[in-house]
Amino acid sequence: MRGTAMCLVVPPITSRARRSVKTWAGRLGISCVVAIGLTGFARPAWAGAWTLDAGTGALVFTGTAMQSNSAFDSGSKQRPIPRYSKSEAQALIEYGVTDWFTAIVQPSLQHVDIAAPISAQRSGLGYTDIGGRVRLWSNSAWVVSAQATVRIPGTFDKTNPAAIGYTDHELELRGLAGYSFKAGTLPAFVDLQLAQRFRLGGPPDEFRTDITFGVRPADRWLLLAQSFNVVSEGAGTWGFGSFAYHKVQLSAVYALTPTLSLQLGGYSTYWGRNALQENGLVVGAWYRF
């Protein structure tokens, strides 16, 4: 399974935005996560550490809606803040160029709304990821792969507080390992991903750890438990501070046909530092071709 946790926003760069944010969150961070899992009848996962067979692909539409009314301060204590909400739609396209190389394109649309006293909104393109995943080694149970993506921002407006954190290019290098096994009599798998994200603007670089456990209790059902963890590598420039956040997501996937599956789940930030306490809903539709 491949999951993405992205869009970290820390206090603003402009003097106007900086004055506004200090009234409610000081140096608190704002974060958002999109978790995507892929599954089929024939294999434990379409994506994640696994690469697609040559000439096959997957189209995944995912929608998320999150809201936060509190944030973790520098001591990891939750403090009330004005409402921050974000809705995002992503379309992940993966295609097996060869059996060992899968190309990746993932555009997104988003709407961000921050309540008074900031009273900021932003709608439009989010990040677009372009890259690929290479299978390095595999056997009947294990697969090890490496992935690289360039993340292209959808806005360059640094004056809007709702756009801060989405305006700079990023590069991510990711190592992935997947293991298929039996949980009792049930098919199951674990996917572990370690990533280094280089942020080319003011925000600090990030180290990321994503863990997915999936079990299939029936032929058409897959249950997923996922953990997404992000730690900044120090502070950035232009007022961007250090941060950390840890999220858990639970979801269920139902396969309507061998090529079409639907997902419903939710996620929550259970611990953080200079980051939002988020609660969100995830819906997805995945098509295999």
**57: CATH:** 2.40.160.40
Stated as kind and residue range, the H or E segment containing 122 is strand 120-125
Beta carbons within 8 Å of 22's beta carbon, 6+ residues apart: 11
- What pLDDT shows up at residue 238? 78
Give the total number of structural domains in the chain: 1
> What 3-state class would DSSP assign to 20?
helix
Q: Count of residues for the chain?
A: 289
For 73-116, how does the pLDDT look when each residue is reduced to its tens digit (9 = 90+)? 999 999 999 999 999 999 999 999 999 999 999 999 999 999 99
Structural domain range at position 164: 3-288
Nearest to 132 by CA among 170, 168, 152, 106: 106
Alpha carbon distance 90, 35 (integer Å): 10
Can you give the pTM of this predicted structure? 0.84
> What 3-state class would DSSP assign to 17?
helix
- What pLDDT shows up at residue 114? 96
- What pLDDT shows up at residue 7? 29
Q: Are 114 and 84 in contact (CB under 8 A)?
A: yes
- What pLDDT shows up at residue 233? 97
Q: Which residues of the chain have pLDDT under 50?
A: 1-45
Alpha carbon distance 47, 163 (integer Å): 30
- What pLDDT shows up at residue 11? 29
Q: What residues does 260 pair with on adjacent strands? A: 287
